[in-house]
Amino acid sequence: MSAVHFYLFDETYEQVENVPAHIDFACRLAAHCYRQNQKIFIYTGDQTQANQVDEYLWQFDAQSFVAHNLQGEGPKFGSPVEIGCEVPKGSRQILINLSPSMPDFAKRYPQVFDFVPHQEELKQVARERYKQYKQSGHQLTTEPAYPAQ
């Protein structure tokens, strides 16, 4: 099964440029993995969120550029980072989950990153995902999320 790593947020990690903290962190995490030559799929809750992630990644400076595309766009075999709200077709090493539920296809990925925002209603939804991953036999770890310096 997959190794699922949850990042826990508190109120000290503030949103950046109208982007929620966990989405900012997810994009920075994708950039880090991209620089390590890993292929990443960022799974979003809907197309609006996919577009938000896409736009935010374009705003990174030239030193932090991340080759990415939305599902169904870009080169035939996709960019190293693909963003979408539908079940991915290709195979990648890392899944970054921004959707409110555990993806049914999470077991296809050796490594999954998920997030526990500090807002109480989002925290409750994340706890349910945690339970779903655990019941599905995934290996779970947690750690605090720290803002990029």
Domain ranges (residues) in the chain? 3-144
CB burial of residue 79 (10 Å; 0-12, 13-18, 19+): middle
Q: Residue 39 CB: number of other CB atoms within 10 A?
A: 17
Partners of 69 in the beta sheet? 82
The reported pLDDT for the residue numbered 82 is 96
What pLDDT tens digit does each residue of the chain (149 aa) get? 789 999 999 877 766 777 888 999 999 999 999 999 999 999 999 999 999 999 999 988 777 889 999 998 877 777 999 999 999 988 899 999 999 999 999 999 999 999 999 889 999 999 999 999 999 999 999 999 876 54
CATH topology of domain 3-144: Rossmann fold (3.40.50)
